[in-house]
Structure 1
Amino acid sequence: MTAVTADTTTRPHAAWGAVLSMALCVAMLIASEFMPVSLLTPMAEGLRATEGQTGQAISISGLFAVAASLLVTTVAGTLNRKWVMVAMTGFMLLSLVLVAVAPNFAVLMAGRALLGICIGGFWALATAVIMRLVPEGDVPSALAWMFGGQAIAAAFAAPVGSYLGGLFGWREVFWALTPVVAINLAWHVVALPSLPARRKQDFRAMFGLLKRPYFRRGLAACMLSWGSAFTMFTYLRPFLEKVTRVDVTLLSILLLLLGCAGFIGTWAAGRFLKGDVAPFLKLPALVMGAATAGLLLFGFSAVAAGLFMIVWGAMNTMFSVIWMTWMSQNADDAPEAAGSLMVAAIQASILLGAVVGGLLLDGISIQATFGGSVALAVLALAVIGNGRRMLKPGAA
């Protein structure tokens, strides 16, 4: 990987401080993006909307994230990538303020749209930035560290959000995130090294990647896997309230179990994900789809629900590292273009999962929503197979 080698000759030591600042940004992005999951019911009541409608606060951020991920490398042009990342974090801060003060559903959606721009822009560049911060052999470990921020957010954002939302109100939960994001903004400025754009980006690089059959198959499998996960996860709270019949305290405990299990996934990704990524590609759809099916069958029991949520949560954090490692190994000649396409695919899947899941919830039942999630997981497994067809020639 010539590009990474060139960087490491001028920066002999891996910039782990910058990697950690990226990890904190990931934690805040995940917390900001999916906080409505843990606050869905009180937000719906406060804005006088249905739970299915309020779930679209996630889908709208996904819509704008898709657009931003496809446009960011072209719009940013030759801008230094350090300052693009700083700008994305600034957008997240402004979004949180808008959501916290939102007097109606329209302003809430505007704030979530701004967050979508941050999500799309950050994730489109994140893996390419990581590839420039550390030597090639350290990229999987650095990705695991960065996605450790996801584990932290998954462990504490949802349970703390639901608990504090019950005590103080959902607006106060969003206000509580703003000082942390402000600190992260300052950390980016200090820790991230200068990252000049190597060349002006345009859509030709994306079209070039889409002409590669193995990359197209990987994108399709990734979309189905993520769509399955977030058709379920977006509406987890209504399931636990209606089927498992939990109160706020037990809900917070179950969400904490799910989140803390993410640390297992982060450790496993850093420990085992080395070399050949093909055998790991089917694991997210297989394990998370099976856990969702388990919730459908046995979710009336709080103990069973907790066990299946632990399994789901452990794989959830490993999920991202697996697919971004696949991208770094199979599109290493165009990492920014690949990042844009990957993020667009993932966010489109989250958007569709939230929309379809909400329609199933409002139109049929919460069980129908979870059944749709399982169906998408089965389709993902059919596309992935043994994973070899999604590796570039010479890697299979």
Structure 2
Amino acid sequence: MSLTKAALREKEGATFRMWLSVLTVSLGIFSMITAEQLPVGLIPAISSELNVSIGSGGLTVTIPGVIAAFASIGLPLAVGRLDRRILMAGLLAVMAAASVISALATNFPVLLASRLLVGITIGGFWAIAGSIAVRLVPGPSVPRAMTIVFGGVSAAAVLGVPAGTIIGDLVGWRGAFWSLAGLSFAILLAALLVLPKLEAAQPVEVKALRAQLRNPALLSGVVATALLVAAHYGAYTFVSPVLLEVSGVTAGSIGWLLLGYGILGMIGNAVAGVWAAKSVGRTLACIVIGLGATLALFPLLGVTPLTGTILLLVWGFAYGAAPITLQTWVLSAAPESAETATAIYCFTFNLAISVGTLATSQIVDTMGVNRVLWVDSAILLLVLLPVCRAPILNRNIGNS
């Protein structure tokens, strides 16, 4: 009996460590996405202290996106079969160092240099997170593990960016970066303590990338991803100036409003997960129409704190549904090459963030935030073109 109890305790301990490892990877994703989007709520304060324009402040989001795009493919190719546990720990160490540099930055070029390091960590982590989750748990538990790991993305929108904005409002934008440095270091220690050795099973190869670039269904998904993400982030990067200038909200309330945005985003993610499995095309069309209408109407209707808040919440719900829908499209287009297709998707996603923010940075400085919202609304409508032309979207994904 004692042996049976001992074996049971050992099994329970192994199960606990397994899920603790999954949670650690999720926290890593949380820290990466928080780091990428943290300046969104801090741009007015950063621009004021470092004496740059609001549009130039948007480069703090543009630069990590560009670097992350290339790192999401280049880093997995470069490291080959390096133990993924060591790779993850190294990326977290770089993230912590980058956050310290950001907090200590005495001028804007130094801040941008630190954001370059952030981009490397984001791209590298995105590229390996999914494969790590799959290898940490047995087959039947993989869906739950993936949900937990990529739940870090939604959690960053709900907690990370709003918390950083609130901290920035209370103790200054540098305090937000110091907090991120502490979080990254804590997750680094957890990764070294709880993650098992994870040798690369099937590293991404150039041959596989070339093959998927000839996949028409995947390419349509890539085009849709590029347009939607560029349009969204082109507008979202400047959501703080929009709320201040168009809706007239107070600076102290922005963090709380972004918290509401994130919560509605999580709800949108949950709803879209069910709908996209039945029909990616109809789900994405609804997202595009809803998101485009929200951006177009914001300068016209969001001119009070109340109406601005309502439109921001609708915005959060609509965009929150987008990533899982796009990911469903990509995976259904390349079910036997999921890791390679995901690398291409991550490259497109991050590059689109940079292109969108860079383009709209110029519009903000020359034409104002209202024009940014209208331009991005028009770009969103272009997403309907690949949606209508991709035959794979007419199938029930769950049965394909």
**TM score, norm. by length of structure 2:** 0.88
The SS at the match of 2:231 is helix
Distance 2:275 2:229 in 1: 22
Q: Deviations over 1:7-50 (max 9, x none)?
A: xxxx9999433332222122211211111110101101111111
Q: Give ranges in structure 1 of 5+ residues lacking alignment.
A: 1-10
Deviation at 1:137, TM superposition (A): 6.4
Structure 2 residue runs of 5 or longer lacking an equivalent are: 1-13
Structure 2 counterpart of 1:377, which letter? L
Structure 1 residues 162-215: Cα deviation after superposition (integer angstroms, max 9, x where no partner): 333233211011101222211211222334333322245431211110011111
Give the greater-gyration-radius structure (CA). Answer: 2
Q: How does 1:1-396 map to 2 (within 5 A)?
A: 15-134=18-137, 139=142, 141-269=144-272, 274=277, 277-385=280-388, 388-389=391-392
Distance 1:334 1:201, change over 3 A: same
**2:62, 2:358 within 8 Å by CA — same for their partners in 1?**
yes
Q: Greater shift after overlay, 225-234 or 86-95? A: 86-95
SS of aligned partner of 2:383:
helix
CA distance in 1, matches of 2:394, 2:137: 23
Structure 1 counterpart of 2:221, one-letter code: G
The one-letter amino acid of 2:325's match is I
Corresponding pairs, count: 386
How far apart are residue 70 of structure 1 and its match? 1.9
Change (3 A) 1:88 1:232: same
Relative to structure 1, is the Cα distance of residues 91 and 190 closer, same or farther in structure 2, using a 3 angstrom cutoff?
same
Match of 1:7 in 2: none
Q: Which amino acid aligns with 1:154?
A: A
Identity of aligned residues (%): 28
Please report how far the alpha carbon of residue 84 of structure 1 lies from its aligned counterpart in structure 2 after TM superposition. 1.8
Over the residues paired in the alignment, what is the CA RMSD in angstroms? 2.7
Q: Using a 3 Å threshold, how does the CA distance of structure 1 residues 277 and 189 change in structure 2: closer, same or farther?
A: farther
Residues of 2 paired with 1:381 and 1:321: CA distance?
17
Shift in Å, 1:293: 2.2
1:272 CA displacement? 5.3
Paired residues of 1:223 and 1:349 also in contact (CA < 8 A): yes
Q: Which amino acid aligns with 1:114?
A: L
Cα deviation code 1:203-261 (max 9, x no counterpart): 12111100111111111111111111101100111111111112112323322211222
* Deviation at residue 269 of structure 1 after TM alignment: 4.9
CA contact (8 A) 2:33 2:122 kept: no
Q: Does the aligned pair in 2 maintain the 1:282–1:386 contact within 8 Å?
A: no
The 1-side partners of 2:379 and 2:174 are apart by 34
Letter in 2 for 1:176: S
